[in-house]
Structure 1
């Protein structure tokens, strides 16, 4: 399989760092419709997840020790990849690192803030993006795993809050007792 070196830019609270990894060349494409292709998304996530896991300790060290929402001690780091692989001349993946505590409400609020930020980035005029070569940018969305099983394929977001995803009705119903407590407060 042909590969291509791609820069991963980790945006953490204390500092930023960069790593370069070879990824399948098929992921670097100027075709904006590919980001909607289920096989492309699966290949992207299968490729990116181990890289994020590898750099999670460094991202944790470069992030705050306090939850960005409530100030409680950090329980985990959310790593959200934003693909800029459509910029074929200089492809990169921006990774947002956010410290969160163990409260579901803080994680969900943080995820909503990430979605808002991604929406702003998607709607920016291409002229303000360095190195894009005039390529049209498609809408950027956070790819979420099923909150119950972690599966990435064919997940759907909660229709009310849009912050969590499930692989089917069964897992959505299973998680509802825990999710309903914060869902209404996050609904737009």
Structure 2
């Protein structure tokens, strides 16, 4: 098996990223959400292309195939993508007082349990710490919580997004102190 590699995402990666995210939402959420919640999740989750324009969004690849993606942000938005119903806030965060945001983490269903998510988290945490952030926060899907807990994130609060088509989508806001 070839080694996992990583790089910063480019605008021309957006179609492949959107396709990966759709597959991941459909396949990886089904053990945690109802079919209606999975459908509604497409309106909550997704890629905020501002992360790609900011140069803070990573791809992990194996043999030229995107295995996963995720990023971090110095902007106030905690979650939500270009096509989501979640309002985004582009205001900059202060690394001395605010937590960096870990955003839009997805693993292709064909690459789960192969270290992709851990690799992306490590890349994001390192980059955020290099920019002076001492903490990171994210809005986790229920399917992501076990990985994030294993990587040192603790739940801060349970929330629900919606209603979307009459459905609430459960999420967990999580945080972690970053290594210096």
Q: TM-score, normalised by structure 2?
A: 0.32
More helix by share: 1
More strand by share: 2
Decide which structure has the larger Cα Rg and report it. Answer: 1
Q: Which of structures 1 and 2 has the larger relative contact order (alpha carbons within 8 angstroms, sep 6+)?
A: 2
Q: TM-score, normalised by structure 1?
A: 0.31
